[in-house]
Structure 1
Amino acid sequence: MNLILWRHAEAEEGEDDLARALTRRGRRQAEMAAGWLGRHAPEDMQVLVSPAVRTRQTADMLGRDYTVVPDIAPGASPDLVLAAAGWPLNAQTVLIVGHQPTLGQVASILLAGNTLNWTLKKGGIWWLGRRQRDEDFQVVLRAVVNPEFL
């Protein structure tokens, strides 16, 4: 299984957290990251998106169908995100468009075995894979991409 974590791009400040939209810079960040994903991610990738406006606007830049999943809204637990993705049994590549600190915690659980407050930059992508070596399952960090390097 491949699990891609994509943090929403830069968003406006605001009191209604779910209604915050991308800034002009955030739209550029999302567009660059979506271009990279479009070149590297499989066509049949499943895309799951938080209900927040900024995550939906980020995912829109990819130009693919997606499913809005309330369980990956701001403040979601890493366990809910992993369950929504079907980790580790889903045979598909799954892209989660979500939030901090949850995405960083998901990455730390899979890579370090503990819930740590790792940071994914706004608009950043972490691509994780699960593979089997002999009888051992391993999680591999396949890519980390931040918009300023695209």
Structure 2
Amino acid sequence: MDLILWRHAEAQDPEGMMTDLDRPLTRRGDKQATRMAAWLDRQLPEGTRILCSPAIRTEQTVLALGRKYKLHDELQPGASPEQLLQLAGWPNGKAPVLIVGHQPTLGETISRLLGMAEHECSVKKGAIWWLRSRERDGQLQTVVVTVQTAELL
């Protein structure tokens, strides 16, 4: 199973009565999302399920991809790695899953899957981590397929 974790692009700092969920992307964030979406569109297999946090910044990030997606409250800020992995169907899902979400949940999920300490991995804004589960010699393994940042595209 392929699990692609995409951190939302750069967002505005909260202002006034704005809640965390209402924070939109900055101009730089729009550019990050557009660059990463163009790359992802060429790479994602057909049938990839796309799941997104209900936060404005994550939805604006995924909109750049131009594909169907579903919003899930389980992915909003503060979600646990367990919630994310259960929603994705990791590691036994049949279709690839792209999740657009937040730190620290994405980093904690990656750390868990790679056997690192919980807070050792941080995901840069607008970046993706593409992971794959496989079985080798009766052992379940997580393989890092690629890590990509918008700045390098």
TM-score normalised to structure 2 length: 0.95
Report the alpha carbon displacement of residue 59 of structure 1 after superposing the two structures with TM.
Answer: 0.3
Q: What is the DSSP-based 3-state SS (H/G/I as helix, E as strand, rest coil) of the residue aligned with 2:37? A: helix
Asked if the contact 1:109/1:116 (under 8 Å) is kept, the reply is: no
Instruction: State whether structure 2 residue 128 is matched by structure 1 residue 125.
Output: yes
The residue that corresponds to 1:5 in the other structure is 5
Report the alpha carbon displacement of residue 39 of structure 1 after superposing the two structures with TM.
Answer: 0.9
The residue that corresponds to 2:103 in the other structure is 100
The residue that corresponds to 2:36 in the other structure is 33
Q: What is the DSSP-based 3-state SS (H/G/I as helix, E as strand, rest coil) of the residue aligned with 1:129? A: strand
Q: How many angstroms apart in 1 are the aligned matches of 2:136 and 2:33?
A: 35
Q: How many angstroms apart in 1 are the aligned matches of 2:127 and 2:148?
A: 6
Out of 138, 141, 145, the residue aligned to residue 141 of structure 2 is: 138
Report the alpha carbon displacement of residue 91 of structure 1 after superposing the two structures with TM.
Answer: 1.1
Report the alpha carbon displacement of residue 33 of structure 1 after superposing the two structures with TM.
Answer: 0.5
Q: What is the DSSP-based 3-state SS (H/G/I as helix, E as strand, rest coil) of the residue aligned with 2:93? A: coil
Out of 17, 20, 24, the residue aligned to residue 17 of structure 1 is: 20
Instruction: State whether structure 2 residue 93 is matched by structure 1 residue 90.
Output: yes
Segments of structure 1 that go 5 or more residues without pairing to the other structure are none
Identity across matched positions, percent: 51
The residue that corresponds to 1:42 in the other structure is 45
Report the alpha carbon displacement of residue 116 of structure 1 after superposing the two structures with TM.
Answer: 2.4
Q: How many angstroms apart in 2 are the aligned matches of 1:9 and 1:81?
A: 19
Give the number of equivalent residue pairs: 150
Deviations 1:119-144 (Å, cap 9, x if unpaired)? 10000000000011131111000000
Report the alpha carbon displacement of residue 23 of structure 1 after superposing the two structures with TM.
Answer: 0.6
One-letter identity of the residue aligned with 2:140:
F
One-letter identity of the residue aligned with 1:147:
A
Q: What is the DSSP-based 3-state SS (H/G/I as helix, E as strand, rest coil) of the residue aligned with 1:31? A: helix
RMSD, aligned α-carbons: 1.0
Could you list the runs of 4 or more consecutive aligned residues of structure 1 that deviate by over 6 angstroms after TM superposition? none
Q: How many angstroms apart in 2 are the aligned matches of 1:117 and 1:84?
A: 23
One-letter identity of the residue aligned with 1:76:
A
Report the alpha carbon displacement of residue 113 of structure 1 after superposing the two structures with TM.
Answer: 5.2
Q: How many angstroms apart in 2 are the aligned matches of 1:10 and 1:19?
A: 13
TM-score normalised to structure 1 length: 0.97
